[in-house]
Structure 1
């Protein structure tokens, strides 16, 4: 009974990793190609291939294998490095200002416009 519960938890972790990779793949697919170049990151097809392979590997292989770990590293790199940069370039992830508006000019400081 304990082993059955353990493998049930492992199955849930495996599904969670697959869904995380699938989310990253879909997120990479909806951004424009030029946003990747403007953010000085690898190209959109590169990330789609890497994240697609990561999702397939996470679905097919056991969590105990090293291939899903490599896929997880690729997904984490996309989520913490590439995604914020691409979102900022495309205007979706800039800093929020009062009134719910994002963005601002390049001369804005943390408390408003800089006129120095």
Structure 2
């Protein structure tokens, strides 16, 4: 198997747990934290992360649904890299 195919396979299989984590994390957060963090509302992020996780599960990379799979991956990564740290910071408060 080619090295690039192995990397894509690892990304494909790692994306689904990341999507489930993003949806679960959004589900467990307080609704007002999203507003204070200046992000979209909690129902919006639940819809985005849930739809993204569904796209990651239903579509395969390299198939006819590649565009939806990549959009789902980007949505999950945006939540994990941008929204989640801000929510944690807002709910934790100052560190002193």
| TM-score, normalising length: structure 2 | 0.82
Bigger relative contact order, structure 1 or 2, given CA contacts below 8 A and separation 6+? 2
Task: Specify every segment of 5 or more residues in structure 2 that has no aligned partner in the other structure, as ranges.
Answer: none
Q: What is the alpha-carbon distance in structure 2 between the residues aligned to residue 42 and residue 28 of structure 1?
A: 11
Give the match's secondary structure for 1:83: helix
1:74 aligns with 2:75: yes
> How many angstroms does 1:14 deviate by?
2.6
Partners of 2:40 and 2:68 in 1: CA distance: 22
Distance 1:31 1:83 in 2: 10
- Structure 1 moving runs of 4+ over 3 Å: none
Instruction: Write 1 or 2 for the structure with the bigger share of helix.
Output: 2
Gaps of 5+ in 1: 95-102, 105-116
Note the 1:1-116 alignment, pairs <5 A.
2=1, 10=9, 12-64=10-62, 65-91=66-92, 103-104=95-96
Query: How far apart in 1 are the matches of 2:77 and 2:24?
Result: 14
Aligned residue-pair number? 90
